[in-house]
A = this chain, B = another copy of it.
Amino acid sequence: MEFLDELRSLKDQIRFNGRFEIPEGTKNVVIAGMGGSGIVGRIFSELYSEIPVSIVDDYRAPDFVGKETLYIAISYSGNTEETIDSVNDAKAKGAITLAITSGGKLAKLADKTVVIPKGLNPRSALGYMLAPLATSFGIAGDKEIDEAYKLLNELDENNEAEKGIAREIYSNESIPVIYGIAPYKAVAYRWKTQFSENAKVLAYSSSFPELNHNDTMSLDGTYRKGEFYFMAFTDGENPKVERRIGITENLTGIGLRRINAKGTSAFARMMWLVHEGDYITFHLAVLRGKNPANVAIIEQLKKELGKQI
């Protein structure tokens, strides 16, 4: 599939029916995953907190994991080394395990598996991986999904503004910095990872209000001040945080390009923000003459890691 077609499939992915049952007696949830799969748990955990949700991006499961834990492992390929190790650890600790994957070892390892369609780059399958969580835990219903569908479709049909942002970054060879706000802090991190994987540009994310306790002190006098391209998410819902953004600009003398989330529901806004980042990073890749689908170094690294020593 062409990379642009992958991006365009997001709107259909969020309609994927992968609903699963939450086991009775579940007292806490752990979501394990890395990179383009791991981001799904991070995004989900900002919309759902009725029981504690912990994120794992490493080889081990937390000590509390046990019979009352629903341990959800997300790996598009199903063969992510860290995630598989952590599921084995979780099983040994007595957890009920659920995999969201297109196949691989994980599909056989977990107690239950939600099988999602194959054939995409993992980072382009965010919708397939998120939809099962969103519907099963009740954070998005038909109304929110329909709203998101419409907004994503609009972006697919017209992403000239996103190309414009990519061009600004390109013209100055800037280091992108993305500042999120709740509940889209993980989306800011998603953009950072998309800048890396799609456009091959190192980027960084942080979030308001936390960054006002540290980055604020360096924005004015840092090395290479003019070489960063600062962006800040807004959604019109959080006047306290929006005042922070304005004051931060005034006190530090940097410009913060606002990314105003479209939509009325948090889920739709979140999907729109994800897709906005998809297009900015896609266009930057094209401008740079880089193939956005290419992740050869990551593949090579996995191969080297797999070698006997």
Contacts and interface: CB of A to CB of B under 8 A. Distances in A.
Interface stretch (A7-15, A100-108, A150-158, A299-307): A299-307
A223 B201 contact: yes
A161 interface: no
A301 B228 contact: no
Contacts of A247: 301, 304-305
A148 B295 CA distance: 42
A196 interface: yes
A221 to B, nearest CB: 4
Given A34-B213, A224-B227, A251-B300, 7 more contacts: A35-B213, A35-B214, A52-B62, A57-B207, A59-B240, A195-B218, A202-B224
Interface in A34-86: 34-36, 38, 48-54, 57-60, 62-64, 82
What DSSP secondary structure best describes chain A's contact surface?
mixed
A1 interface: no
A250 B300 CA distance: 11
A218 B196 contact: yes
A120 B255 CA distance: 32
A136 interface: no
A227 B64 CA distance: 42
Range for the number of chain A residues in contact with chain B: 35 or more
B248 A209 contact: no
Contacts of A168: none
A217 B240 contact: no
Interface of A: 27-28, 34-36, 38, 48-54, 57-60, 62-64, 82, 173-175, 177, 182, 192-193, 195-197, 199-204, 207, 209-210, 212-224, 227-228, 240, 243-244, 247-248, 250-252, 290, 295, 297-298, 300-301, 304-305, 309
Contacts of A36: 213-214
B64 A305 contact: no
B201 A222 contact: yes
